[in-house]
Amino acid sequence: MRARNGQFKAARHFLESISAPRLIIPGNHDVPLFSLFMRLLRPFGNYNKWIEGLGAREIIFDEAAIFCLNTINYLRHQQGNVSREDLRKTAEWLDAMAGVPWRIVVMHQHLANVPWRRRPGIIRDAAMIVNALAEHKAHAILCGHVHYHNVSPASDFFPGVKRPILLITSGTATHKRVRGREGETNSFNMLTFTADQFSITPCYWIDEKQDYIPGETKSFTREYFK
């Protein structure tokens, strides 16, 4: 919550228990909030010490390639930022992955607010970023930060986007802070890829079952993105 050593130590212990390939990027709570000295001079100091080496910034499977961006602006506690240089590198990566059926970009902050739940932190120049990633044929942008599950075409928020691209946000998997619709519980998204179809299934925690139970799946074929 406050980028302290003890919190990162616990996070590292949790992440090391996951044997699958890990993509890891910082969130806005991974830089100090109250320690201005650390925030200005070593904003990612504790993150780099405890977490950075545990995961990759990209994973390439047969059916999907996934690329992560660090969108944290340590001068602003919530609002995200994508630099022009990072956007250029992401576009080049997408071009290089043209032979992979599905191309996904991941960032922490969100690019748009749904009407039923507004959250601060929208990334600057969101319309330009969405258009650039769509132009280089990304199929979806995954975001956290908002603490609710949603799947929407980017055109719902940016009518001028020239190619279909999805904006997907995730709920809160392990923390008591849940900000979805009234009555919503902890959740995470499960993404499934085949050569011709991409599916997103939210999985919700059910106390009575003491387990996560799949919710409604949304699926998109390659035809949708043409």
160 Cβ contact list (under 8 Å, min separation 6):
127, 131
The whole-angstrom separation of Cα 54 and Cα 56 is: 7
Q: What is the pLDDT of residues 50-65, one digit of tens each?
A: 998 899 899 999 999 9
Q: What is the pLDDT of residues 62-89, one digit of tens each?
A: 999 999 999 998 877 788 999 999 999 9
Eight-state DSSP code of residue 204: E
Do 38 and 71 fall within a single domain? no
Phi-psi category of residue 177: left, alpha or beta, with phi > 0 → left and psi -120 to 50 → alpha: beta
How far, in whole angstroms, is CA 88 from its chain's centroid?
A: 19
Res 182: pLDDT: 65
Tell me which residue range forms the domain holding 128: 57-225
Do 24 and 75 fall within a single domain? no
pLDDT score of 37 more than 70? no
Do 75 and 108 fall within a single domain? yes
For the chain, percent of residues with pLDDT exceeding 70: 98
The whole-angstrom separation of Cα 188 and Cα 149 is: 8
Do 149 and 127 fall within a single domain? yes
**Which is it for the CA torsion 180, 218, 69, 123, positive or negative?**
negative
Q: Locate tokens 């609710």: which residue?
A: 148
Do 14 and 126 fall within a single domain? no
Closest residue by Cα to residue 44 from 60, 58, 28 = 28
pTM of the complete model beyond 0.85: yes
One-letter amino acid at 106 equals V
Do 215 and 139 fall within a single domain? yes
How high is the mean pLDDT of the chain? 92
* Cα dist from 87 to 57, 68, 212, 216, whole Å: 14, 11, 35, 32
* 8 Å CB contact between 145 and 77: no
Do 62 and 156 fall within a single domain? yes
Do 73 and 35 fall within a single domain? no
Do 127 and 36 fall within a single domain? no
131 Cβ contact list (under 8 Å, min separation 6):
158, 160, 161, 162
Do 46 and 24 fall within a single domain? yes
Do 71 and 51 fall within a single domain? no
Res 73: pLDDT: 87
Q: Which CATH number is 215's domain given?
A: 3.60.21.10
- How many domains is the chain partitioned into structurally? 2
Do 46 and 81 fall within a single domain? no
Q: What is the mean pLDDT of residues 93-119?
A: 95
Q: Which residue has the higher pLDDT, 175 or 158?
A: 158
